[in-house]
Structure 1
Amino acid sequence: MNALAGVLFHFIGGFASGSFYVPYKKVKGWSWESMWILGGLFSWILVPPLAAYITIPNFMDIIRDTDVSVVGYTFLFGLLWGIGGLTYGLGVRYLGVSLGSSIMLGLSMVLGALMPAFYYFVNPSPGKHGIDYFFSTTSGLCVMVGLLVCLLGVYLCGKAGMLKEKGLSKLSGKAETEYNFGVGIVVAIVSGMLSACFNFGIESGKPMADVANQLWKSLNPGQGEFLYQNNVTYVVILWGGFTTNFIWCTYLLIKNKTYADYGKPSAPNGKNLLFSALAGTTWYLQFFFYGMGESRLGNGASSWILHMAFIILISNAWGIILKEWKGVSRPTSRAIVWGIVTIILSICIVGLAKTLE
């Protein structure tokens, strides 16, 4: 039952992550940096402490009482994760949407899932799996199979995207003038590695989540693990993510003089504020439900794989709903359908792994 609940929570989180950009499409007359930093104020600064306060009223006391090194590393990984998110755009620019996204999401999935396991193999910790777990137990092997199947699904989705981009290029008679595989692959690797740092931040900040968990369990004996224990950790991680994005967006607002967007008479500023706030809040919800899913699955690798798989699945599903694949060739259609089916299969396999423990 815990496994089913965990998969469901990860689905809701993946749906939020895969859908958060839809409200941004309704923003009119503003630059990217204008809407992005405004949405970020909600997703990184306003909503996380509000969610933490509602679920863990004394969360600031937990942060203050935590060892400085724990808070520092958690913040640092949030900072690096923010850089990974910003370089994502460069990877797409030089490799194209499909190839760039596939490489970056695939790397983030693998590194985010397995790197903590290498750490815990060298530095064992109660309740944490080392890398040997994934090759010496039935459940661990099942997780690895699910990871490989999901990567196959990512490859198929990426192949579909490349076929689509190639077809559009032929139709328009234009080539991708900014395509640069050498530069793009370096940027994509950096972005994929740094994007995985969010999971590293969760692992680094686990002592804060453990305190929240123990406090809740002492008040609610015999009721299992605290669903919202990670909410205190998110506050610190997202401080780091906000720092990176705030510096970059402020630079762009000044450089491009787009700070004037907020008072632009021709723009629907009220609606833009509403849609940016909705996008930012929806974006945060992915991690709110991620924490709930992890509390039920109890395995960082499984949770991270499911989280990434659902993001890829929902993103591609939105592409179909919004008719982004309308009119593509039959091989392209087959590739995207098989990619989605394969990712769904991987979700089932990783979900099954929990029941085999």
Structure 2
Amino acid sequence: MIEGIIWAIAAGVMLGLYALPEKYAKDFEFENTWALFFAINCFLIPNVAAFGLIEGFGDILLAIPTPVLIGMGISSFLWGIGVMMWGKAINHIGLSLGFSLFIGTIILVGSLIPFMIDGLPATPVFVTIMIGIFVVLMGVINNGRAGIIRQKDEGSQESEKKGSMTTGILIAVIGGLLATGFSYANTVGGSIIHEACLKMGNPEWVSAIAVMYIIYMAGGIAIALYFGQQLTAKGLWGRFKTPNLLRNTALTTVMGIFNFTASAAFAYAAFQLGSNGGTVGYAIFNTVSVAVAIVSGLLTREWVNASTKAKGALYVGLSCMIIGICIVAIGNGLA
């Protein structure tokens, strides 16, 4: 169990840090940076990792039952749509509230999906894990509150005010629900792919790469369609012609390596955590990623002008998240 928790924490740390290089991209608009990142992250890195590290990868894909492969593909495609919807929600309600609602939905629903598929554990285990998830959600809510207070303190406009608050909330929550397709795909395909990888003589850890290959490739289709439309609508294809293209490609490649490795590490952690690994690993993975992202924001002085009230809510949120994942880990230990 300890090994699984360590892997889940490491995965969350990598996910929380992966976007930092984006701050140093030059001559790119938002759409250019993230379109290049997703192209590398969803198509280049998965193929290099899968075909370069997994023995008999083609045969492993063929060994996956068709219904499982279709289920993973559809749920992963929905995950890609969910990620894009989060970006749209921010246009309506701002980064802080949008992030809070999106991640909160992912942690709550995504952590429950493995229970829905594999069945509930013993009552003491289930209750303890749910208490931990509830405490985590209280932390996410406080983080969102801190961001809203900070926004007012700085007199900034995070939202482009293109729509109503109700619309933005609906988009964020629906996007979070769709993004839990990631958890579903990992749950239904994880054990089958793990067994297929072992039969081909691969070490256990490579099965996580195989799972993420399917998730990222299918999800990447939805993401590619979205960014292709955005780059065309805004006339931004020409922005790729810049002397800083090589620099920006290197930065987004680092982002992609961190992001894909984080997801693969989560998949391996879920397996190592045992029967409740999908739920426990998913909660730890997402919670740590949010905590690390917030701490990195503090270290890069994003909160330097925030009021004491905003910082207080942020610290309460961080504390709840840390306490919550500890309770979740205890619940998994009870199993």
Structure 2 match to 1:180: 164
The 2-side partners of 1:286 and 1:273 are apart by: 20
Amino acid across the alignment from 1:151: L
SS of the residue aligned with 1:323?
Answer: coil
For residue 340 of structure 1, report the CA deviation from its aligned partner: 0.8
Structure 1 match to 2:190: 206
Instruction: Write the mapping of 1:226-265 to structure 2, written as runs, cut at 5 A.
Output: 226-264=204-242
The 2-side partners of 1:25 and 1:177 are apart by: 24
The 1-side partners of 2:314 and 2:163 are apart by: 22
Amino acid across the alignment from 1:256: K
Structure 2 match to 1:32: 30
The 2-side partners of 1:246 and 1:201 are apart by: 20
Indicate conservation of the 8 Å contact 1:208/1:233, yes or no. no
Indicate conservation of the 8 Å contact 2:97/2:144, yes or no. yes
The 2-side partners of 1:176 and 1:252 are apart by: 16
Deviations 1:134-178 (A, max 9, x none): xx4322222111101101111111111111112222xx6999744
SS of the residue aligned with 1:331?
Answer: helix
For residue 303 of structure 1, report the CA deviation from its aligned partner: 0.9
Indicate conservation of the 8 Å contact 1:143/1:302, yes or no. yes
Which sections of structure 2, spanning at least 5 residues, go unmatched?
A: none
SS of the residue aligned with 1:229?
Answer: helix
The 2-side partners of 1:311 and 1:343 are apart by: 11
SS of the residue aligned with 1:158?
Answer: helix
Structure 2 match to 1:160: 146
**Measured at CA, do residues 173 and 255 of structure 1 come closer, stay the same or move farther in structure 2, by a change above 3 Å?**
closer
The 1-side partners of 2:31 and 2:247 are apart by: 17
Amino acid across the alignment from 2:69: V
SS of the residue aligned with 1:198?
Answer: helix
For residue 68 of structure 1, report the CA deviation from its aligned partner: 2.1
**Measured at CA, do residues 212 and 174 of structure 1 come closer, stay the same or move farther in structure 2, by a change above 3 Å?**
closer
Structure 1 match to 2:124: 138
Instruction: Write the mapping of 1:1-357 to structure 2, written as runs, cut at 5 A.
Output: 3-118=1-116, 120=117, 128=118, 130-131=119-120, 133=121, 136-169=122-155, 177-178=161-162, 180-206=164-190, 208-212=192-196, 214-215=198-199, 226-264=204-242, 267-298=243-274, 299-357=277-335
**Measured at CA, do residues 173 and 190 of structure 1 come closer, stay the same or move farther in structure 2, by a change above 3 Å?**
closer
For residue 213 of structure 1, report the CA deviation from its aligned partner: 5.2
The 2-side partners of 1:282 and 1:173 are apart by: 30
Deviates more, 1:173-182 or 1:247-256: 173-182
The 2-side partners of 1:336 and 1:154 are apart by: 9
Which sections of structure 1, spanning at least 5 residues, go unmatched?
A: 121-127, 221-225
The 2-side partners of 1:25 and 1:89 are apart by: 17
Deviations 1:286-333 (A, max 9, x none): 112112211211221111111111111111111111111112211111
For residue 263 of structure 1, report the CA deviation from its aligned partner: 1.7
Deviations 1:8-30 (A, max 9, x none): 11121111111111111111111
CA RMSD for the aligned pairs? 2.1
The 1-side partners of 2:214 and 2:202 are apart by: 25
The 1-side partners of 2:326 and 2:258 are apart by: 25
**TM-score, normalised to structure 1's length?**
0.87
Indicate conservation of the 8 Å contact 1:56/1:212, yes or no. no
Amino acid across the alignment from 2:78: L
For residue 115 of structure 1, report the CA deviation from its aligned partner: 2.7
Indicate conservation of the 8 Å contact 1:13/1:285, yes or no. yes
Q: Provide the identity percentage.
A: 23
Indicate conservation of the 8 Å contact 2:266/2:281, yes or no. yes
Deviates more, 1:51-60 or 1:282-291: 51-60
Deviations 1:74-101 (A, max 9, x none): 1111110000000101112211211111
